[in-house]
Amino acid sequence: MERTLVLVKPDAMQRGLAGEILSRLERRGLRIVALRLFQMDDELARRLYAEHEGKRFYEGLVSHITACPIIAAVFEGTNAVETVRKAMGATDPAAADAGTIRGDLALEIGRNLIHGSDSLESAKREIALFYREDEVHSYSRDLDRWLFEAPD
């Protein structure tokens, strides 16, 4: 099972879309294994977006993600990183497919509602920014046998 970080960003929080976003990912079959609402500070935002430092949009990213409380969630499941990425849609909502979170609910690239880790390596790094290992709780559900094939 893979794990990935999802952030429900301030624009989604302000628009009352947190429940829908989390629900779409759960309906795909992913499990929430960590979840919290909190206000991200400037230091954490800069660590999260360190790869973008120096780019013209960097300060806007930091300012936006710290504007109001957000939800940080860890999802777990088969191919969790790729599953979340596909469910989110393209970073630019204008290029996102209908049926994706961004394609259905967002209009502008700077207000695209959701962050999801872009690789397993990023997921591990990003999850560690928000959660200690003992704060992430794997568990099984009765329906998992209908979602996930048993490993060979």
Is 115 one of the annotated active-site residues of the chain? yes
53 DSSP β-pair partners = none
Question: Quick one: pLDDT band at residue 150, thresholds 50, 70, 90?
Answer: confident
C-alpha of 151 from chain center = 26
CA angle 52, 55, 57 (to 5 degrees): 90
**Domain spanning 2-133, CATH architecture:** 2-Layer Sandwich (3.30)
Work out the percent of the chain whose per-residue pLDDT is above 70: 99
What is the band of 93 on the pLDDT scale with cuts at 50, 70, 90? very high
Q: What angle do CA 20, 22, 27 make, to 5 degrees?
A: 90
Neighbour tally for 36: CB within 10 Å: 13
CA distances from 111 to 12, 52, 93, 94 (A): 8, 17, 9, 11
Residue 152 is predicted with a pLDDT of: 66
3 state DSSP class of 84: helix
For the cut 90, the answer to whether the pLDDT of residue 149 exceeds it is: no
Which sequence spans correspond to the domains of the chain? 2-133
| Tokens coding 2 | 């893979």
**Confidence (pTM):** 0.94
